[in-house]
Structure 1
Amino acid sequence: MTAAIARETTPASEPMVAVRGVTKIYPGGVHALDDISVDFPRGKLTSLLGPSGCGKTTLLKIIAGLLPLTSGEVLIDGRTVTGPGPERAFVFQDFALMPWATVIRNVAFGLELRGVAKAEREEVARRYIRQVGLAGFEEKFPHELSGGMRQRVGLARALSVNAEVLLMDEPFSAVDEQTRRKFQEDLLDLVARERKTFIFVTHSIEEAVYVSDRIVLLSRRPSSVAEVIEPAISRAGDPDAIRRDPVYLDTVDAIWQSLKHYLD
């Protein structure tokens, strides 16, 4: 890789999420993950990138506490993960909205499960509905929204519970290219504003380089960490300028060169 593309550096502080020697073997013998160890810095967005079927979503669900690991350990802010927890929120690829509930009810649902009073949870929900650009749609139902709007509802729901870690499983894959680019720009604003820890699964090299502070490249299954890259890209100013930045273009090409031998 070129000198402008930074490889992994030593974190300045304890990571928000630490994966230590994680192995996952499914019933039937499918060996998905093999001894994965990687840190996810607090307040940053880290993408998981690798060949199709390499276990990106498996690792994300293990971090979420939705899937048991075979061996190893996951730590969130120094505490061992034993299942789902309020410090983590998951944004699903297929939106996972309740079709019978309005936008505001969907967004407030996590707070409702926590027993937050209706007035308070709706106030929080309205704030995040505005933040994701859906003000005025509070009383609409999912079937009345476009795919992009439904994904914004899912993101607002994850933000409303004020989790420290947001886990995003290919959240933009079901929308058209124009909407996807707008979402990517919005995500950069969100990371800067919220200062939460984002772990983002994507199949797109270009998307990973555009949105990420850090990219974890996974190998073919059984997956291990092939490389960790920190794109040396300035994200201040015009977001469109990032895609024209020579460092962005060089990083995309370098990652492609690293990954393509897994596709042979």
Structure 2
Amino acid sequence: MSQTESAFANAHPTEQDIAVSIRGVSKNYGAVEALKDMSLDFPRGQLTSLLGPSGCGKTTLLKIIAGLLKHDSGEIIVNGKNVTGPGPNRAFVFQDFALLPWATVMRNVAFGLELRGVPRSEREDKAEKYIKGVGLAGFENAYPHELSGGMRQRVGLARALSVDANVLLLDEPFSAVDEQTRRKFQEDLLSLVANEKKTFIFVTHSIEEAVYCSDQIALLLPRPSRVHEMIRPQIDRSKGVDNIPREPEYLDIVDQIWASLRAYVE
């Protein structure tokens, strides 16, 4: 694996600050090598984006971390323990929402807790907290078909937060919404990272989104996927999503990433 360190990097996190470790992970689909000897660390309490061209294994890696997909070799370590399947320390936010169409917002958000046997009053109290937290207060009794795409994605995010997992895995969660909603989601996501103290692993195709939202960006190259570069943006996000894209530091990192990726974009 070829891995270089960006000029925009902070010091490496210490071992106790690592929430998720990928160690020599490989995954084949028949004769196709999707991942080969992949190694990567995800710092605790931070947001790491997986960024790269289509088909580079971003979603495959995310599903392996979630325990939804078996890897062929290597280790996935979450909070010091090997991953052998799905577990309560990880929650997945799907690109296509994956909501229960026959269930209200309240029941969708509380569903993971319901499966765990949490009493109804307790799970609904927790679900209500996160429904409000993602901006859906007042829609507790609405059904998915009554919501916009952006609202349905908020339900999926609230459901992931409500199960109180340490690690949240987000597979292009903003890809189906318009640009205005996407910008609001990005700001909301940064607030969640700051307030929830969880580890977020975020798949995106957008260089700009990765630079704006991430503490760390893992730049992946096409099959067999490997880490080409680790980038840790140094950006003052207090200026907001409308102003940061005009900042020289932001533009420099976007240009750096595009220079690394352009040879692999068809």
Q: Could you say which TM-score interval applies, normalised by the shorter chain?
A: over 0.9
Call closer, same or farther: CA 1:214–1:4 in 2, change over 3 Å: closer
Q: Are 1:5 and 1:232, in contact at CA under 8 Å, matched by a contact in 2?
A: no
Q: 1:157 aligns with which of 147, 156, 159?
A: 159
CA shift for structure 1 position 239? 4.0
Code of the residue aligned with 1:97 in structure 2: it is: L
Call closer, same or farther: CA 1:217–1:44 in 2, change over 3 Å: same
Cα distance between partner residues in 1 of 2:6 and 2:159: 37
CA shift for structure 1 position 13? 4.0
Call closer, same or farther: CA 1:8–1:71 in 2, change over 3 Å: farther
Code of the residue aligned with 2:27 in structure 1: it is: K
Partner of 2:27: 24
Cα distance between partner residues in 1 of 2:162 and 2:264: 39
Partner of 1:181: 183
Partner of 2:122: 120
Secondary structure in structure 2 of the residue aligned to 1:134: coil
Cα distance between partner residues in 2 of 1:130 and 1:248: 32
Code of the residue aligned with 1:170 in structure 2: it is: E
After TM superposition, list the pairs within 5 Å mapping 1:196-211 onto structure 2: 196-211=198-213
CA shift for structure 1 position 43? 0.2
Q: Are 1:4 and 1:247, in contact at CA under 8 Å, matched by a contact in 2?
A: no
Code of the residue aligned with 2:75 in structure 1: it is: E
CA shift for structure 1 position 82? 0.3
Secondary structure in structure 1 of the residue aligned to 2:246: coil
Q: Are 1:92 and 1:171, in contact at CA under 8 Å, matched by a contact in 2?
A: yes
The answer to whether structure 1 residue 244 and structure 2 residue 257 are counterparts is no
Q: 1:59 aligns with which of 52, 58, 61?
A: 61
Task: Give the stretch that moved more between structures: 160-169 or 236-245.
Answer: 236-245
After TM superposition, list the pairs within 5 Å mapping 1:103-118 onto structure 2: 103-118=105-120
Secondary structure in structure 1 of the residue aligned to 2:194: helix
Q: Deviations over 1:147-206 (max 9, x none)?
A: 000000000000000000000000000111111111001101110111100000000000
Code of the residue aligned with 2:237 in structure 1: it is: R
Partner of 1:262: 264
Identity %: 70
Cα distance between partner residues in 1 of 2:9 and 2:129: 38
Call closer, same or farther: CA 1:23–1:250 in 2, change over 3 Å: same
CA shift for structure 1 position 30? 1.2
- When normalised by structure 1's length, the TM-score is 0.96
Cα distance between partner residues in 2 of 1:152 and 1:221: 32
Partner of 2:214: 212
Cα distance between partner residues in 2 of 1:113 and 1:4: 43
Cα distance between partner residues in 2 of 1:5 and 1:244: 20
CA shift for structure 1 position 5? 4.5
Partner of 1:34: 36
CA shift for structure 1 position 236? 2.8
Q: 2:99 aligns with which of 97, 100, 113?
A: 97
Q: CA RMSD in A?
A: 1.4
After TM superposition, list the pairs within 5 Å mapping 1:186-197 onto structure 2: 186-197=188-199
Secondary structure in structure 2 of the residue aligned to 1:122: helix
CA shift for structure 1 position 242? 2.1
Secondary structure in structure 1 of the residue aligned to 2:14: coil
Q: 1:131 aligns with which of 122, 130, 133?
A: 133
Identify unmatched segments of 5+ residues in structure 2. Answer: none
Secondary structure in structure 1 of the residue aligned to 2:62: helix
Cα distance between partner residues in 2 of 1:200 and 1:77: 18
Cα distance between partner residues in 2 of 1:4 and 1:38: 15
Cα distance between partner residues in 1 of 2:6 and 2:260: 16
Secondary structure in structure 2 of the residue aligned to 1:151: helix
Call closer, same or farther: CA 1:203–1:238 in 2, change over 3 Å: closer
Cα distance between partner residues in 1 of 2:234 and 2:214: 10
